[in-house]
Amino acid sequence: MWNEPAAIAAVLAGCPLHISGPVDAYVIRANNHRQIALSSDHISANQAFPGEDVRSLVRRGVVEAASDLAAVGADFHGVQIDLRAPADFDELDFTAVGQGVNDALEVMGGQLLQASNISHGEFGVSNTVVGFLDSYQPMSRRSARAEDVVLISGPTGGWNSALALLNSSSKAALSLNEWSMVRDDFVDYWPEIRLGRALASSGLVNGCTDMSDALDRCLRDLIAPLGLDADIDEAAVPLSDSAEFVAFKLGLDAIELSIMGLAGDNRLVITTAPSLVELLQRTAESVGRRLYAIGSLREGSGVVRYRHLPSQSRDDDVRRAEIYAPTFEAPIALRPQRFRSGGRVFKQTVHPGEAAID
């Protein structure tokens, strides 16, 4: 099975006319002293959770694409979608696509820029997001330095813990309050747009990337191209309430489950000089967020070292990626409370006679 870094390298090798270095979003400098940030992402039916509907999947796709804008410090202006849909899609399904986009826009602002390219095929939506930056320097993965302190923008582990619970036999025993907490971490996360803009405008950040992947994978993607190693104190990594709850319920290690999992809850990973950490934390507090120092960088070869956890390899990524298209049984509805359902449901696996908690 191919892995993403090698696949990206092969694509770039086939097209020598590309920008150098890893970036989350490409920033174009305009003549009016503004800058335009662009990024694209794709979400398809095979990435739907069992029991998830069109509206929910589309909303998640827009949110995940917008997280790349946060990583460079851009605001969110809007999204253009390119839609592929099965031949039996009906008007209600297409309306649900628009509702899913609108759900994201009502929270993040912005507008749908275009939705005029629709083709036949397995369901999938490509999202191209657009944002603007003022005259400040955009943040970048490429600027992390040896001796930098590594910080994370908030608790993580909710998504990975929820997945572990759903893959267990314990999910049907949850109370309504417990399930609400786990469900929200699994399907109701949002990008750090406002925080990213504040951090970029401060000029205090060296390196930054968004955690669409879990922390371990995110760190390796950040440091490997730069010839750096990361020394991480896993006990300093903040964990979501879901991570603590699920780990206790399943008898797992909450820290390992969160750091070595699959997804990263759309947090930001930031690096800065040790002398600037306090100022950067004040910047985050000015927009109602908090940064947590979890380690440091040094010259090396792309290795992430922990005090007690083993370092991972790309082979581990391939094995973990096999669960990216969730196949768990879902007697519990996965639609978040704040949004209504819309369109057909993907991967119906609810068994007759099982009581759904919703």
At 37-84, the pLDDT tens digits run 999 999 999 888 888 899 999 999 999 999 999 999 999 999 999 999
- CA distance linking residue 66 with residue 43, whole number of Å: 13
Q: How confident is the model at residue 336 (pLDDT cuts 50, 70, 90)?
A: confident
Domains 22-133 and 141-321 share a fold: no
Measured from the Cβ of residue 276, the count of other Cβ atoms closer than 10 Å reads: 17
pLDDT at residue 351 above 60?
no
Query: What's the mean pLDDT in 131-151?
Result: 93
For the residues of 78-130, what is the DSSP string, one character each? EEEEEEEE-TT--HHHHHHHHHHHHHHHHHH--EEEEEEEEEESS-EEEEEEE
The helix/strand/coil state of 1 is coil
pLDDT at residue 352 above 50?
no
Percent of the chain with pLDDT over 70: 88
pLDDT, residue 74, reads: 95
Mean model confidence pLDDT for the chain: 87
Query: What's the mean pLDDT in 124-144?
Result: 92
- CA distance linking residue 304 with residue 216, whole number of Å: 7
Tokens describing residue 235: 């006990």
Please give the model's pTM, rounded to 2 decimal places: 0.87
pLDDT, residue 327, reads: 65
Query: What's the mean pLDDT in 107-114?
Result: 92
pLDDT, residue 323, reads: 45
DSSP 74: -
Please list the residues that pair with 127 across neighbouring strands.
41, 81
pLDDT, residue 326, reads: 64
pLDDT, residue 259, reads: 93
Q: How confident is the model at residue 354 (pLDDT cuts 50, 70, 90)?
A: very low
Per CATH, the number for 22-133 is 3.30.1330.10
Whether residue 130 contacts residue 66, with contact meaning beta carbons closer than 8 Å, is answered with: no
Q: Please state whether beta strands 111-120 and 207-213 pair in parallel, antiparallel, or not at all (unpaired).
A: unpaired
pLDDT, residue 61, reads: 94
358 vs 301, higher pLDDT: 301
What is the dihedral sign for C-alpha 15, 16, 22, 24?
negative
Q: Which range among 7-11, 37-41, 335-339, 350-354 shows the weakest confidence by mean pLDDT?
A: 350-354
Domains in the chain: boundaries? 22-133, 141-321
Q: Let me know the angle formed at the C-alpha of 42 by 40 and 46, rounded to the nearest 5 degrees.
A: 170
The per-residue pLDDT for range 224-270, each reduced to its tens digit, is 999 999 999 999 999 998 999 999 988 989 999 899 888 889 999 99
Superfamily of domain 141-321, CATH level 4 = PurM-like C-terminal domain (3.90.650.10)
- CA distance linking residue 13 with residue 18, whole number of Å: 9
- CA distance linking residue 95 with residue 342, whole number of Å: 8
